[in-house]
Amino acid sequence: MHTRKLGPLTVSALGLGCMGMSDFYGPRDEAESIATIHRALDLGVNLLDTADMYGPFTNEELVGRAIAGRRGEVILATKCGIVRDPNDPRVRGVNGTPTYIRNSCDASLRRLGVDVIDLYQLHRVDPKTPIEESVGAMADLVKAGKVQAIGLSEASAATLRRGHAVYPLASVQTEYSLWTRDPEDDILSVCRELGIGFLAYSPLGRGFLTGQIKRFEDLAPDDFRRSSPRFQGENFQKNLDLVAKVEALAAEKSVKASQLALAWVLAQGDFIVPIPGTKRRSYLEENIAAEAIALSADDLARLDAVMPRGAAAGPRYAEVSMRLLNA
């Protein structure tokens, strides 16, 4: 596995998103999830990404159990900033106040069972708290030895510049894939300019780009994708038609659509680290194999032709979640 840089951190070119092991994507199997994390480490994947809101809280605990005894092999990334209502976890708000960030970090350290978090990220920007205050609090955690590096998630280009001026940001985490190309508007160029790494979450379009989802009914009753506009009604079929074109190109190269989609993200810049999520070893191994796929200029042009910017039907989140993004 090749490596890439996120600020001071050297990470594997592909990371592992752990969210689905505990929340959002249907049934859970802790034993298989832990085995998947162990297999990732065995294959050279060292970046594990979690957050306190996954579960909530239970995903950090799972990751902590999985890495016990293997801490030295892991670049551990977690996040704070999205607050779920304890009475109804579907209801969410954001908090970026310094007191909240400090308390959240201490709680994450306990759940993860570690002394230091390698990459601590603000999950969403709090519109009521100046980003300078939020980043300043995170910088204090670095100075206190609780965190190695800091990053933001779903932050605008202007917010990135303001935050980076307070303390060097190692990364920004934003959705990026063949069917979500918004970061190409300005985020990627700002990352290049300022030397900020880019963590691409949902690089497989929440599983849609794998070609494994053929019907809305394939989604488990508690799968949050049932509320995603891109998985509903006419949008579902339109997006399915796009994926069929990607599958055809993948077949020409004797690879899977998921692998071609990951190879495309990797090819967009050596500062970009995709973090596909999975809770199964078989899919993990398929994803890792994508790192060895070399795409020619013609390959990239053909992918761009069948899945151009803006081609995906529907917004990437339901309206209530879109309101949490920092535009």
Q: What is the pLDDT of residues 196-215, one digit of tens each?
A: 999 999 999 998 999 888 88
Q: Are strands 3-6 and 9-12 parallel, antiparallel or unpaired?
A: antiparallel
Across the range 14-32, mean pLDDT stands at 91
Does residue 322 surpass a pLDDT of 80?
no
pLDDT (tens digit, 9 = 90+) per residue, 94-121?
A: 999 999 999 999 999 999 999 999 999 9
Token code pair at residue 269? 């810049």
In angstroms, rounded to a whole number, what is the distance separating the alpha carbons of residues 228 and 325?
15
> Which residue is listed with tokens 């940001």?
169
For the residues of 191-252, what is the DSSP string, one character each? Answer: HHHHT-EEEEESTTTTTGGGT---SGGGS-TT-GGGG-GGGSHHHHHHHHHHHHHHHHHHHH
Rounded distance between C-alpha atoms, residue 230 and residue 179, angstroms: 10
Looking at residue 317, its pLDDT comes to 76
Average pLDDT over residues 302-306: 96
* Helix orientation angle between 281-289 and 257-266, rounded to the nearest 10 degrees: 50
- What is the per-residue pLDDT across 115-125, written as a single tens digit (0 to 9) for each? 999 999 999 99
CA distance 302 to 286: 22
Residue 42 in tokens: 């065995």
- Plot region of 274 (φ>0 → left; ψ -120 to 50 → alpha; else → beta): beta
Residue 218 has pLDDT above 90, yes or no: no
Strand partners, 9: 6
Instruction: Give the per-residue pLDDT at 323.
Output: 76
Q: What is the mean pLDDT of residues 157-167?
A: 98
Structure tokens at 216: 């809305």
257-267 tens-digit pLDDT = 999 999 999 99
In percent, the amount of the chain with pLDDT more than 90 equals 85
Query: Which domains does the chain show, CATH number per domain?
Result: 3-206+265-290 (3.20.20.100)
pLDDT tens digits, 184-196: 999 999 999 999 9
Is the per-residue pLDDT at 90 higher than 90? no
3-class DSSP state for residue 130? Answer: coil
- Pairwise CA distance, residues 261 & 176, whole Å: 11
The beta strand positions in the chain, using DSSP E, are 3-6, 9-12, 16-17, 47-49, 75-80, 82-84, 92-94, 117-122, 147-153, 171-175, 197-201, 272-274
Which tokens sit at 133? 């205050």
**Exposed / middle / buried, residue 194 (Cβ in 10 Å: 0-12, 13-18, 19+):** middle
Give the closest residue to 175 by CA, choosing from 146, 144, 206, 213.
206
pLDDT-derived band at 327 (thresholds 50, 70, 90) equals low
Q: Is residue 54 annotated as a catalytic residue, yes or no?
A: yes
- Confidence band for 59, pLDDT divided at 50, 70 and 90: very high
Average pLDDT over residues 320-324: 74
pLDDT tens digits for range 223-244: 878 888 999 999 999 999 999 9
Q: What is the mean pLDDT of residues 21-46?
A: 94
Mean pLDDT, rounded, of the chain: 95
Q: Which of 25, 54, 100, 176 is catalytic?
A: 54
